[in-house]
Structure 1
Amino acid sequence: MNIAHVAIWVDDLDVMRRFYETYFEAKANDLYQNEQNQFASYFLTFPQSDCRLELMRRADIQNPGQETLGYAHLAISLGSKEEVDVMTRRLVDDGYERLDGPRTTGDSYYESVILDPESNRIELTI
């Protein structure tokens, strides 16, 4: 059994698509649109992973990135401490907010936490 995909509501589909393509080598499918429901989405596929990320937009969904009960973050495995350090520096240098790390957590994970363009938390880990 595998997780097929995770979906997040976003305000700007193209900004978010470019972010995940630029930093995490994701490949997007063609934009899907349902004009009747005012819904649009991209599915992003990551290298060496069966799990996909769906970015979704609908006009009546507001306040993406707000902290609420439910999903807390998206964790992306980069393969090594060095890659976590490099990606964290790259994102911070490009103006993205780092919330924590890189550090080894109490449960022995090496990670940092940054915010994507719409303030969704991304955990960079080994």
Structure 2
Amino acid sequence: MKIEHVAIWVNDLEGMREFYEIYFNCKSNTKYHNSVKKFESYFLTFESGARLEIMRKDGINKQNKGDKIGWAHIAISLGNRESVNQLTDRLVKDGYPLVSAPRITGDGYYESVIEDPEENLIELTV
């Protein structure tokens, strides 16, 4: 058994697609659009085969900022500490907020945490 994909509602569908393509080398499918439901989405495929669905629909917006019940973050393994450091530096230079600088966590992970363009948390891990 495996998770087939995870999905996230977004405001800027094209901007979020570009973010994951640029920084995480994701490949996007053709945009799905349902004009009746005013819904559109992309599936973004990582090199490992994992998939992230980004979705937009009229009337869906972020209600709470910060801590809330539900998904807390996505963790993306980059393979080694140097890759974590390099991508963290690149994202910060490009203006994305750094939540937590690269470090070894209490449970032994080497990670940093940044926000994507819509303030969703991304852990960059080994």
- The one-letter amino acid paired with 2:6 is V
In the TM superposition, residue 101 of structure 1 has moved relative to its aligned partner by 1.9
**Counterpart for residue 63 of structure 1:** 62
- The one-letter amino acid paired with 1:91 is L
Pairing 1:1-126 to 2, within 5 Å after superposition: 1-47=1-47, 49-63=48-62, 66-67=65-66, 68-126=68-126
In the TM superposition, residue 65 of structure 1 has moved relative to its aligned partner by 7.7
Give the CA RMSD over aligned residues: 1.2
Q: Quick check: 1:99–1:113 contact (8 Å CA) kept in 2?
A: yes
State the TM-score, normalizing by the size of structure 1. Answer: 0.96
Q: Quick check: 1:10–1:64 contact (8 Å CA) kept in 2?
A: no
State the TM-score, normalizing by the size of structure 2. Answer: 0.96
Q: How many residues align?
A: 125
Which 5+ residue runs of structure 2 have no aligned equivalent? Answer: none
Matched residue of 2:61: which SS? Answer: coil
Percent of residue pairs identical: 57
- The 2-side partners of 1:64 and 1:28 are apart by 27
In the TM superposition, residue 51 of structure 1 has moved relative to its aligned partner by 1.8
